[in-house]
């Protein structure tokens, strides 16, 4: 990762994501996956256990806004879509971010959004992010595999389009937009989950570690 200029204040990091990046009290309250019950179930009991706060701490940075919405896709042209102007504008509500970490696309995969539709939406999201925050470093992650637990899984994983197709689209969009890629998928490591998708405490730790490798922390 290119060196970030030292500033008098701490770096400000904002997050744009889906349910994997939510946490009660830190993300939009009507769309939280990691509520008090799920925190108990997963072991993700404090915000310090989330992948994104672990990355922020590693930077000795501060959280700007975490605008992560459970169930949201990049595509769909909805107010909840990661490409939506409302969600992108919200990332600067606590001051302009220096870094924006984008962890999105898992629901597009889960709901079998057509790859060409996902690609168009991802391009739109990156264009809007760059136009709104021209001085921020934008980092987008590919989609790592969650380890399937015994019992019920969140998505009918065997019935979906290969997740790698969506990761390849993310790689291509990131290259064309000239932003930064956090290629979590390339490590071929399955993170621990409670349902095949949502990480438990150990899974969060692994995801944070992969992000830190890509950010060269």
Is 90 exceeded by the pLDDT of residue 155? no
Sequence-distant (6+) residues with CB within 8 A of 137 are 2, 4, 98, 99, 100, 179, 180
Residue 171 within a domain: yes
| Within a domain: 168 | yes
DSSP-assigned beta bridge partners for residue 16: 67, 102
Q: What is the CATH number of the domain that holds 86?
A: 3.40.50.1110
Domain that holds residue 152: 12-214
- Total domains in the chain come to 1
Q: Which residues pair with 199 in a beta bridge?
A: 193
For the record, the structure tokens of 37 come out as 């019950």
Mean pLDDT, to the nearest integer, of 66-95? 97
Report yes or no on 5 lying in a domain. no
Asked if residue 120 lies in contact with residue 74, where contact means CB atoms within 8 angstroms, the answer is no
- Is 80 contained in some domain? yes
Does residue 6 lie within any of the structural domains?
no
> Per-residue pLDDT for 217 more than 70?
no
pLDDT at 8 over 70: no
Does 33 reside within a domain? Answer: yes
Query: Is residue 4 a contact partner of residue 137, using CB atoms and an 8 Å limit?
Result: yes
Q: How confident is the model at residue 5 (pLDDT cuts 50, 70, 90)?
A: very low
Which distant-in-sequence residues (6+ apart) come within 8 Å of 114 by Cβ?
A: none
DSSP characters for 94-151? TS--SEEEEE--HHHHHTT--HHHHHHHHHHHHHHHHHH-TTSEEEEE--PPBPPPSS
Q: What is the mean pLDDT of residues 12-26?
A: 98
% the chain with pLDDT above 90: 86
Q: Does residue 97 surpass a pLDDT of 80?
A: yes
Cα gap 66→28, rounded to integer Å: 8
3-state secondary structure of 159: helix
Q: Residue 214: which residues within 8 A CB-CB, separation 6 or more?
A: 1, 139, 141, 181, 182, 183, 184
Residue 38 has phi, psi (to 5 degrees) of -65, -35
* Residue 82 falls inside a structural domain: yes
Spatial neighbors of 149 by CB under 8 A, at least 6 apart, are 193, 194, 195, 196
Is residue 48 included in any domain, yes or no?
A: yes
Nearest to 195 by CA among 164, 157, 159: 157
Given pLDDT bands bounded at 50, 70 and 90, which one contains residue 19? very high
pTM for this prediction: 0.93
């Amino acid at each position: 990762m290119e060196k970030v200029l030292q500033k008098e204040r701490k770096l400000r990091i904002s997050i744009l994501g889906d349910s994997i990046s939510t946490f009660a009290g830190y993300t939009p309250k009507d769309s939280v996956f990691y509520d008090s019950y799920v925190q108990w179930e997963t072991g993700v009991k404090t915000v310090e256990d989330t992948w994104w706060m672990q990355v922020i701490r590693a930077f000795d940075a501060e959280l700007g806004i975490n605008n992560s919405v459970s169930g949201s896709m990049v595509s769909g042209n909805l107010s909840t879509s990661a490409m939506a102007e409302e969600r992108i504008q919200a990332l600067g509500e606590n001051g302009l971010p220096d870094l924006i970490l984008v962890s999105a696309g898992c629901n597009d995969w889960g709901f079998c959004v057509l790859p060409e539709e996902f690609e168009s939406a991802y391009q739109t999201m990156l264009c809007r992010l760059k136009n709104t925050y021209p001085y921020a470093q934008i980092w987008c992650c590919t989609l790592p595999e969650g380890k399937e637990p015994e019992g019920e899984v969140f998505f009918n994983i065997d019935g979906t389009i290969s997740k790698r197709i969506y990761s390849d689209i993310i790689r291509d969009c990131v290259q064309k937009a000239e932003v930064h890629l956090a290629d979590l998928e390339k490590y071929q490591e399955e993170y621990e989950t409670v349902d095949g998708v949502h990480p438990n405490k150990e899974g969060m730790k692994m995801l944070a570690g992969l992000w830190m490798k890509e950010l060269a922390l």
